[in-house]
A and B are shown apart, each in its own frame.
Chain A
Amino acid sequence: MCGIVGLFLKDPKLQPQLGAMLTDMLITMTDRGPDSAGIAIYSQGKIGHGKLTVQSATPEVDFKNLDADLKDALGTPVLMLVKSTHAVLEVPAGQLDAARAALAKIRPGLKVMSSGEGIEIYKEVGLPKDVAARFEVAKMHGTHGIGHTRMATESAVTTMGAHPFSTGPDQCLVHNGSLSNHNGVRRVLKQAGMTFETENDTEVGAAFVSHKLQQGETLGQALEATLTDLDGFFTFVVGTKDGFGVVRDPIACKPAVMAETDQYVAFGSEYRALVNLPGIESARVWEPEPATVYFWER
């Protein structure tokens, strides 16, 4: 199973409600995936600033003086916002890679959830409502976001096995389904220099798309390539700094419903996830076609 929700706002007036709308959609998908949940929220940060979202199993230890320690390591100011097991570290955008390298030295136990100018990712084991409450997702503003409720099949129920997976700057991917050739694709991507945190099949899908984007392909081209190179069942929803994409495998047995109005584009594994969106009664609602790439960019 697994549940996916996504929201790409066209109307800036809705931006203060993005977190609240996505939280409601996510909780509706609880019975498709009650074992873990995660959400990626994109917002327009301060120009020239970047954000690293990090996770720790022992936040009270790892996050203590983390901002000061990172500031010393980088020689630039660092802002930190701690939310439960996650912390968002704001650094100059040009310092994101340096900050990541510094963190590996000063806090080797931290896991990096996401890195970029707009993205923040929060994910944990537990019911979607508890995960959303823990990170106060409902209060978050943003331009677009993607959420996932997980029913694990291919790897263990852990924080790192939850979705979304982020394998490139401001990129993330969630998945309903299972890939059957992920070990082979992972080997090829490793040779090409991609790194992996887990044995999870979805992380391979995410890294596959990131690798294509790295090589200069567009989001649309990267998603097209999943149809030829990835084997298995998938409905993917992908986020980038300015965009939001959807693709389903040619068999398309993993459900998907989309809705579009003048205010937003929304994705749900089921129509139930969309019923409380404003103006849904008059929205264009459709099922994305198999083996067809959809994406929106601002």
Chain B
Amino acid sequence: MQTFDLEAQGLRALNQALHNLKGANTNETAWEVVNPKGSHAIAVGVDAPIDITVRGSTGYYCAGMNKQATIRVKGSAGPGVAENMMSGTVIIDGDASQYAGATGRGGLLVIKGNASSRCGISMKGIDIVVHGNIGHMSCFMAQSGNILVLGDAGDALGDSLYEAHLFVRGTVKSLGTDCIEKEMRPEHLAIIADLLKRGEAEHLAKPSDFKRYGSARKLYTFNIDNASSY
């Protein structure tokens, strides 16, 4: 286990040490970051199959652009956690602030508390599992990937949605433009079962508890009746 004291050693040294592992044949596969104290940009741009545990709460952009790594925050995360994640897993034990998992292209983001506004905004392939609630404007313009919410969703869920799958167990305060409730088919139940398992939530819910929301496809698709408007 490599222990890194962020307060003593500094952010650039941490991220450089983690970036140095890219493509390296290393046995330094388990990292622990202590004294994060809400610092920004912790473990951003990691590209190695390693495990990183952050012991405390983080500031902006923790685990941004992650590839391959498993990053666990033993606290809460500030705005933009796992932004543009490519692959790997990010697990937040506490809450996440706004735009968690924004523009994520792959991998899995698990938030064990609540996520605030704009969770999964413009997601493009990431899977997100939130054990609590998500805030307003979540999944705005979400393109692909899956989000599973065990709690409630705030206002304007899935506004201007493309082809992401949204699954919510609790209430949805309001749906955004062009987002509708859709029929749950067996393949969706299979996606949910897989997300519950990978999202450490199998003991908390079952697939049949959820409703599915998706795009009505009236906003982003070409409509021949509107041809004269273009």
The chain A residues found within 8 Å of chain B, CB to CB, are 250-253, 255, 257, 270-275, 285-287, 289-290
Measured in the bound complex, the distance between the Cα atoms of B76 and A286 in whole Å is 10
- Inter-subunit contact A271/B76 (CB<8 Å): yes
- Inter-subunit contact A290/B135 (CB<8 Å): yes
Chain B positions 76 through 104: 1 when the CB is less than 8 Å from some CB of chain A, otherwise 0: 10110000000000000001011000000
- Inter-subunit contact B97/A275 (CB<8 Å): no
The chain B residues found within 8 Å of chain A, CB to CB, are 37-39, 57, 59-60, 76, 78-79, 95, 97-98, 116-117, 135-137
Consensus secondary structure, chain A interface: loop
- Find chain A residues with CB under 8 A from B95 CB: 285-287
Measured in the bound complex, the distance between the Cα atoms of B114 and A289 in whole Å is 12
Chain A min CB distance to B83 (Å): 15
- Inter-subunit contact A255/B38 (CB<8 Å): no
Using A272-B39, A290-B135 as known contacts, say yes or no to A285 and B98 having CB atoms under 8 A apart. no
- Find chain B residues with CB under 8 A from A289 CB: 135
Using A270-B78, A290-B136 as known contacts, say yes or no to A275 and B98 having CB atoms under 8 A apart. no
- Inter-subunit contact B59/A252 (CB<8 Å): no
Measured in the bound complex, the distance between the Cα atoms of B97 and A275 in whole Å is 17
Chain B min CB distance to A254 (Å): 10
Chain B min CB distance to A199 (Å): 31
- Inter-subunit contact A252/B117 (CB<8 Å): yes
Shortest Cβ distance from B39 into A: residue: A272
- Inter-subunit contact A272/B38 (CB<8 Å): yes
- Find chain B residues with CB under 8 A from A255 CB: 78-79, 97-98
Chain A min CB distance to B8 (Å): 15
Chain A min CB distance to B73 (Å): 12
- Inter-subunit contact A271/B78 (CB<8 Å): yes
Q: Could you pull out 29 A-B pairs where Cβ atoms are within 8 angstroms?
A: A250-B136, A252-B98, A252-B116, A252-B117, A252-B135, A252-B136, A255-B79, A255-B97, A255-B98, A257-B97, A270-B38, A270-B59, A270-B60, A270-B78, A272-B38, A272-B39, A272-B59, A273-B38, A274-B38, A275-B38, A275-B57, A285-B57, A285-B76, A285-B95, A287-B95, A287-B97, A289-B135, A290-B117, A290-B135
